[in-house]
Structure 1
Amino acid sequence: MKFDVIIVGGSYAGLAAAMALGRALRTVLVIDSGLPCNRQTPYSHNFLTRDGSTPRELAAIGRQQVGRYNTVDFIDDVALRGFKKDGGFEILTASGQTFYGLRLVFATGIRDRLPLLEGLSECWGISVLHCPFCHGFEVRGEKTGILGNGDDGFELARLISNWTSDLTLFTNGRSTFTPSQQFMLQSHYIRVVEKEINRLEYSGGQIQGIVFNDHTIEPVKAMYLRSRFEQHCTIAQAMGCSLTAEGYVMVDDFQETTVGGIYACGDNVSRMRTVANAVAMGTATGMNISKKMFV
Structure 2
Amino acid sequence: MKQNFDVIIIGGSYSGLSAGMALGRSLRKVLIIDSGKPCNRQTPHSHNFITHDGKTPKEISDLAKEQVLKYETVKFHNGVVTKTSKKDKGFEVETQNNKKFYAKKLILASGIKDIMPNIPGFIECWGISVIHCPYCHGYEVKEQVTGILSNGAIAFDFAKLVFNLTKHLTLFTNGKSTLTEEQLRKFNQNKINLIEDEIEKVEHKNGQIQKLIFKNGKEIPLQALYAKIPFEQNINIEDLGIELTEQGFIKVDFMQKTNIDGIFACGDNVTMMRSVANAVAQGNFAGAVVNKELSEEEF
Question: Which TM-score applies when normalising by structure 2?
Answer: 0.96
Contact 2:267–2:282 (Cα < 8 Å) also in 1: yes
What are the superposed Cα offsets for residues 158-190 of structure 1, whole Å, 9 maximum, x if unpaired?
A: 110011110011122222211111111111111
How many angstroms apart in 1 are the aligned matches of 2:208 and 2:161? 22
Cα deviation, residue 67, structure 1? 0.8
Residue 276, structure 1, aligned to residue 273, structure 2: no
Q: Does the CA-based 8 Å contact 2:120-2:201 persist in structure 1?
A: yes
Residue in 2 that maps onto 1:159 = 161
Residue 186 (structure 1) aligns with: 188
Distance 1:157 1:2 in 2: 49
Aligned to 1:23: 25
Quick one: which amino acid aligns to residue 160 of structure 1?
Answer: V
- Structure 2 equivalent of residue 204 of structure 1: 206
Partner of 1:173: 175
1:253 aligns with 2:257: no
> What does residue 139 of structure 2 align with?
137
- Cα deviation, 1:227-247, whole Å, max 9, x if unaligned, reads 10000111x322111111111
Corresponding residue for residue 291 of structure 1: 292
Structure 1 residue aligned with 2:218: 216
Taking the aligned partners of 2:264 and 2:56, their CA distance within structure 1 comes to 28
Contact 2:85 2:239 in 1 (8 A): no
Rate the CA distance shift 1:84–1:174 in 2: closer, same or farther, 3 A: closer
Q: What is the CA RMSD across the aligned residues, in angstroms?
A: 0.9
Q: Within 5 Å, which residues of 2 pair with 1:39-118?
A: 39-118=41-120
Q: Which moved more, 1:2-11 or 1:193-202?
A: 193-202
Percent identity over the alignment?
49
Distance in 2, Cα, partners of 1:215 & 1:64: 51
Distance in 1 between residues matched to 2:118 and 2:25, nearest whole Å: 45
In the alignment, is the contact (CA less than 8 A) between 2:124 and 2:207 conserved in 1?
A: yes
Give how far 1:284 is off: 0.5
Say if 1:77 and 1:94, in contact at 8 Å, map to a contact too.
yes
Q: Does the CA contact (< 8 Å) of 1:109 and 1:266 recur in 2? A: yes
- Aligned partners of 1:237 and 1:243 also within 8 Å: no
1:42-69 Cα deviation digits (max 9, x unpaired): 1110001100111111110100000111
Once the two structures are superposed, residues 241-265 of structure 1 have per-residue CA deviations (whole angstroms, 9 ceiling, x without a partner) of 1111111111111111111001111
CA distance in 1, matches of 2:240, 2:199: 41
Query: How far, CA to CA, are the matches of 2:256 and 2:110 in structure 1?
Result: 14
CA contact (8 A) 2:81 2:96 kept: yes
* Separation in 2, partners of 1:48, 1:146: 27
The alignment covers a number of residue pairs equal to: 294
Query: What amino acid maps onto 2:153 in structure 1?
Result: D
SS of structure 1 residue aligned to 2:92: strand
Q: What stretches of structure 1 of length at least 5 have no aligned partner?
A: none
Q: 1:35 maps to which residue? A: 37
Is 1:148–1:225's contact at 8 Å kept on the other side of the alignment?
yes
* SS of structure 2 residue aligned to 1:286: helix
User: TM-score, normalization: structure 1?
Assistant: 0.98
